[in-house]
Structure 1
Amino acid sequence: MTAFSLEPAQLAWCAELRALAAERLRPLAEKGEPGRVNRALVAELGRLGLLGRLFTSGALDLCLMRESLAQACTEAETALALQGLGAHPVHAHGTDAQRARWLPAVSDGTAVAAFALSEPGAGSDAAALELTAHPDGTAHPDGDARWRLTGEKCWISNAPEADFYTVFARTTPGAGARGVTAFLLPADRPGLTGRGLDMLAPHPVGALDFDGVPVTADDVLGEVDRGFRVAMGTLNLFRPSVGAFAVGMAQAALDATLAHTARRDAFGGKLRDLQAVAHQVAEMALRTEAARLMVYAAATAYDTGAPDVPGRSAMAKLLATETAQYVVDTAVQLHGARALQRGQLLEHLYREVRAPRIYEGASEVQRGIIAKELYARQEAR
């Protein structure tokens, strides 16, 4: 339900996605192992044509996909989003050879992608990266630049099981955001190792170690020392859709709460008859719809090339992820102890809903981006 001006075909597509997620994707998700890449699920996303749409759709379509899948199967939503996040830099900045090698395999679900930006000492402050690309220092007849990557990445979704990584490394010391380069790195490159991390989120998250990993000019995505633009361009696209993921979870929690409070007997009537309960449900719906509209507005701004995309993307992610945390928590409270049983929908959502407030820029970072954009706009007047 939304008053946003979605076309009937878009609304029908969202309903179809929710049905597909429930009927074909959720059974595969339930067979997966927490903390491991579910390749059967990724392959089914490819067979359904959803992974291919990552590279042919705009930001609004990406949001509709993520919101719809999240309502019925958060694991499918996350698998789709991680494919897009890891492969979008290849789509947007890769050479013809890089695109031909990896994008068809990502689209059909046979290659798993990952976006490797965060480090132990550079999470929210992404410009403080310490993974270093040292010049190789040896002579090469072809004249191509060559480096060795040394350092580590941490909290990388799909690591260490991805087939390739979009890796951001420092090529110019002391240059801050201006000295970072993006590399496309196959997982079998010598010197690259990884390990899984035991995290609250059910999808795989790991750390990567780089021990003199060789890279060349053929591995660069975009331009040398311009990789921070690759990272920020990717995040500007995906931040509203993180909000869409959050809205999908909030809607699932709201739907469960409406059903529960309508049938639950309490104090001589139904739970919904208690004004305190009814007002909480109304607040859940109000915040969910407000977040949805902001997500759609930010995605539309991206698709139309509006000048305020960074600020709108930050607002959408911030409002939607904070809203989802509130809605899911309130849903648990209204359901009572049963909601915290392992295997229950709300227990699952309660674990899932926390991480989006941190990854792709924590809520505090989003507030900083919003303020920066506001003051820049004021100074430009």
Structure 2
Amino acid sequence: MRVHDGRPLWQRVRPYFAVFDPQLAVIMLMLLSVGLVTLYSAGIAIPGQMTGQARNICMAFLVTWIAANTPPQVMMRIAVPAYALGVALLVAVALFGTIKGGSRRWLTFGIQVQPSEYMKIAMPLMMAWFFQRQQGQLRWHSYLIAALLLAIPVGLIARQPDLGTAMLVVAAGAYVIFLGGLSWKAVAAMGAAACAALPVLWSVMHDYQRDRVLTLIDPYHDPLGKGFHIIQSMIAIGSGGFGGKGWTHGTQAHLEFIPERTTDFIFAVFSEEFGLTGNMVLLVLYLLLIVRGLNIAVNASTFFTRLLAGSITMIYFTYAFVNMGMVSGIVPVVGVPLPFMSYGGTALMTLGLGGGILMSIQHHSRGVRGGAAARAWGATA
């Protein structure tokens, strides 16, 4: 089929897909494929899981494509409105949000949305914009303002309560602050202050949050109660051995000993069925994802894009580390999904949005480098 300018349709459409970074796209597709294989086994007795995840992947692809086609200059312009909208939605949640399972985290507009997920991207956007504006004139009060910008949404999210998402939003903002030039001495001082504040934090934690910390320290103090799920998860991981029990042959998963086996604890299902060998392959995929993201950050053409790409990449790292850590019993259970593998629409779209932003940064940085090279060649010719 041809259009009015004489070019085939695919040639007109191709530029809109040329923004995809091949390396990053392949890694994301491989993780999604591993996730679908594992999800099929984990949710084999749950009707509609695969159909639902296929729909989620299609929506995430659309979000990724839109973000990849959005120039970084546009991202800079929308950073402040995006942050303001996110804070406004969090305030709306606090005032009249929907309560489920004892937590007030959702707004209902015909469909339910979770504004705290949106802040995982809006936060680094805002922080990167702020440090771009402050570049060359950073003072101690700049970091104080940045900390305040971070504390407002984190406080609202923690109040819901949603410790896992609050921790991820803190990480998203903290990565930008550190990459923006915060000294190691200041980081050490804040670490010491955080340790000193632990008794105060303990006193304001909810009972279930304290239980999670105590369960981390000794899951066997209540093996049939609060410690049951994490014990069963660790049994599943250990029973996988070197090569695993085989796809769809995991006993802990199919006998329903593993909690939330299609979402937060999908790593336990994967470990039981594919063993240490599968885990090493999965870790390599996540390592490649992080290396590619950091490479995009290093080669970014502006301070804003370097900070944004670096923060989003480290969010991926935090997602993977926290999820694998909580399922393995080395960090408290905080409800963080495994990137590109856990079932769920909102988290998958957030991850896809981050991937699209990285691709946009890489595409436009490549264009800037190509233009600079062309100008340099012209000057020497």
When the two structures are superposed, what TM-score results if normalisation uses the length of structure 1? 0.28
When the two structures are superposed, what TM-score results if normalisation uses the length of structure 2? 0.28
Higher strand share: 1
Higher helix share: 2
